[in-house]
Amino acid sequence: MDMLALAKDIAGHVKTESLRAQVPMGVSVIDVHGNTVLQHRMNGALAFSMLISERKVYTSALTQLRTSALFDLVQPGKDSFI
């Protein structure tokens, strides 16, 4: 499948869910090498939402984990805490 088409599909699903939750957000989609394929900021999303989405997706790709799975690993006293 075409990466841009897939990225647009993902962004569309994110937009649908964020509209349902009434929380505008930014979405970033990268490829397996960490290169940006698509970035989209919904109307009303905070400007820094793009920076957050880009960093979250990069971290997730780098670690091969959902960012929510990283939460416990980066708490004070844990090995990944900086």
Rounded Cα distance, 6 and 44, in Å: 24
What pLDDT does residue 5 have? Answer: 95
What pLDDT does residue 33 have? Answer: 86
What pLDDT does residue 2 have? Answer: 93
Domain ranges of the chain: 3-74
What is the dotted CATH code of the domain comprising 3-74? 3.30.450.150
Predicted confidence band of residue 7 (pLDDT cuts 50, 70, 90): very high
Please state the pTM of the whole predicted model.
0.78
DSSP track, 30-59: E-TTS-EEEEEE-TT--TTHHHHHHHHHHH
Q: Are 42 and 15 in contact (CB under 8 A)?
A: yes
State the average pLDDT over residues 42-58. Answer: 93
